[in-house]
Homo-oligomer: A and B are copies of this chain.
Amino acid sequence: MTADSSTAGQALVVGVDFGTLSARAVVVRASDGAELGTGVGEYAHGSIERALPSTGQPLPPDWALQDPADWRACLGEAVRSALADAGADPARVVGIGTDFTACTVLPVLRDGTPLCEVPGLRERPHAWPKLWKHHAAQPQADRINDLAHARNEPWIGRYGGRISSEWQFAKALQLLEEDPETYERTERWIEAADWIIWQLCGAETRNACTAGYKGIFQDGNYPSEDYLKALNPAFADFAQTRLAGVPLSALGSRAGGLTAEGAALTGLPEGIAVAIGNVDAHVTAPAARAIASGQMLAIMGTSTCHVMNGDRLADVPGICGVVDGGIIAGKYGYEAGQSAVGDIFAWWTGLGVPESYLQDAAERGQSLHEYLSSLVEGQPVGAHGLIALDWMGGNRSILVDHHLSGVIAGLTLASTPEDVYLALLEATAFGTRVIIESFEAAGLPVTEFVVAGGLKRNRLLMRIYADVLRRPVSVASSDQAPAVGSAIHAAVAAGLHADVAAASAVMGSCEQAAYLPDPARADAYDELFAEYRTLHDYFSGRPEWGGNDVLHRLRDRRNEVTGP
List the B side residues contacting A408 at CB < 8 Å. Answer: 407-408, 411
What is the CA–CA distance of A561 and B419 in the complex, to the nearest angstrom? 14
A354 to B344, CA, bound (A): 16
Q: At the interface with chain B, which of A285-293, A377-385, A437-445?
A: A377-385
Tell whether A405 pairs with B410 under 8 Å between CB atoms, given A531-B550, A562-B383.
yes
Task: Give 3 nearest A-B pairs by CB, closest first.
Answer: A385-B558, A406-B411, A352-B352
- Tell me, rounded to whole Å, the shortest Cβ–Cβ distance linking A328 to chain B: 34
What separation, in Å, do the CA atoms of A383 and B561 have in the docked complex? 6
- Residues of chain B within 8 A of A352, CB atoms compared: 351-355, 357, 417
19 contacts between A and B (CB under 8 A): A347-B413, A350-B354, A351-B352, A351-B354, A352-B352, A381-B561, A382-B554, A382-B560, A383-B558, A383-B562, A386-B554, A392-B412, A405-B410, A406-B410, A406-B412, A407-B407, A410-B554, A531-B553, A534-B548
Judging by beta carbons under 8 Å apart, are A557 and B527 in contact? Answer: yes
For A380, what are the chain B residues with a Cβ–Cβ distance below 8 Å? 561-562
Given A351-B352, A380-B561: 12 more A-B contacts, CB < 8 Å: A347-B415, A351-B416, A352-B352, A352-B353, A355-B355, A380-B562, A381-B561, A382-B558, A383-B562, A392-B411, A405-B411, A531-B550
Does A382 contact B534, Cβ atoms closer than 8 Å? no
Q: How far is the CA of A558 from the CA of B408 in the complex (A)?
A: 16
Query: Which residues of B are found within 8 Å of A407, using beta-carbon distances?
Result: 407-411
Instruction: Identify the closest chain B residue to A406 (Cβ).
Output: B411
- Determine the distance from Cα of A539 to Cα of B392 in the docked complex, in whole angstroms: 21
**Once the chains bind, are A385 and B550 in contact (CB under 8 Å)?**
no
Is the CB of A358 closer than 8 A to any CB of chain B? yes
The chain B residue with its CB closest to the CB of A559 is B385
Q: Does A181 contact B (CB under 8 A)?
A: no
Residues 394-411 (chain A) with a chain B CB within 8 angstroms: 405-411
Q: Name A558's closest neighbour in chain B (CB-CB).
A: B385
In the complex, the answer to whether B381 meets A555 with C-beta atoms within 8 Å is no
Partner of A413, one of B344, B381, B528: B344
User: Which of A351, A387, A551 gathers the greatest number of chain B CB atoms within 10 Å?
Assistant: A351
The answer, yes or no, to whether A538 is at the interface (CB within 8 Å) is: yes
Residue in B closest to A351 when the chains form the complex, CB atoms: B417
CB within 8 A of A382: which of B343, B413, B548, B561?
B561
A521-564 Cβ-contact flags toward B at 8 Å (1 or 0): 00010011001001100110000000010110111011011100
State which of B358, B538, B553 has its C-beta within 8 Å of the C-beta of A548: B538
Report Cα–Cα, A161/B534, bound state, in Å: 30
Known A380-B562, A407-B408; contact A413-B387, beta-carbon cutoff 8 A:
no
In the docked arrangement, what's the CA distance between A381 and B554, Å? 11
**B residues in contact with A385, CB < 8 Å:** 405, 554-555, 557-558
Chain B residues whose CB sits within 8 angstroms of the CB of A358 once the complex forms: 355
A410-B531 in contact given A351-B353, A351-B417, A561-B380 (Cβ < 8 Å): no
Whole-angstrom distance from the CB of A528 to the nearest CB of chain B? 8
The residue among A344, A411, A420, A527 with the most chain B CB atoms within 10 A of its own CB is A411
Tell whether A500 is near chain B: CB-to-CB under 8 Å: no
Complex CA distance for A355 and B362, rounded to whole angstroms? 14
Bound form: Cα–Cα A406–B384 in Å: 13
A340 within 8 A of B: yes
Cross-chain contact B561 with A340 (CB below 8 angstroms):
no
Q: Across the interface, do B413 and A343 meet the contact criterion of CB distance under 8 Å?
A: yes
In the bound complex, CA of A413 to CA of B354 (Å): 20
A392 contacts across to B, CB distance below 8 A = 411-413, 415
A393 interfacial contact with B, CB 8 Å: yes
Chain B residues near A381: list those with CB within 8 A.
561
**Smallest distance from the beta carbon of A431 to chain B beta carbons, Å?**
14
A410 / chain B contacts, CB cutoff of 8 Å = 405-407, 551, 554-555, 558
Q: Which residues of B sit under 8 angstroms from A393, Cβ to Cβ? A: 412-413
- Considering only CB atoms, which chain B residue lies closest to A343 in the complex? B413
Minimum Cβ distance to chain B for residue A447 (Å): 30
Bound CA–CA A357/B381 (angstroms): 34
Which residues of chain B are near A386, meaning CB under 8 Å? Answer: 554
**Alpha-carbon distance between A555 and B420 when the two chains are bound, in angstroms:** 15
Given contacts A392-B413, A415-B392, contact A387 B554 (CB under 8 A): yes
Residues in B with CB closer than 8 Å to A416 are 351
Q: Which residues of B contact A524 (CB under 8 A)?
A: 561
- Residue ID in chain B nearest A384 by CB atoms: B558
- A350 to B356, alpha carbons, bound, how many Å? 11
Bound Cα distance from A385 to B555, whole angstroms: 6
Q: Could you tell me the distance in whole angstroms from the C-beta of A357 to the nearest C-beta in chain B?
A: 7
